[in-house]
Amino acid sequence: MNRSSRSMRKLLDAVASNNEVAALDVMRATEQLKDELLRQRLLNLIHQLNQDAHDLRLARDDVQGGTIKFA
């Protein structure tokens, strides 16, 4: 694996980790809300952040030798 592939994998993993940390922070804040509509919107956001993190990790795993495999 070349340097650019390693860098891309590292970047994708870092962004995925940041999404997961953000999701946890929003979840903690959401637990304190009384407004159910806002609470539901934030829970949807949390779900999307976690899904994006999962997708980024899948993309990271597809990066090999300077190319990205497409399904």
Mean pLDDT of all residues in the chain? 91
Please write the tens of the pLDDT for every residue from 7-16: 999 999 999 9
| Residues 71, 22: Cα–Cα separation, whole Å | 29
**3-30 vs 36-62: helix crossing angle, rounded to 10:** 160
Q: What does the pLDDT profile of the chain (71 residues) look like in tens digits?
A: 688 889 999 999 999 999 999 999 999 999 999 999 999 999 999 999 999 999 999 999 988 755 555 55
Helices (H), strands (E): how many in the chain?
Answer: 2, 2
**Full DSSP string of 14-62:** HHHHHHHHHHHHHHHHHTT---HHHHHHHHHHHHHHHHHHHHHHHHHHH
Q: Which pTM does this prediction carry?
A: 0.82
Residue tagged 């997708």 (tokens): 55
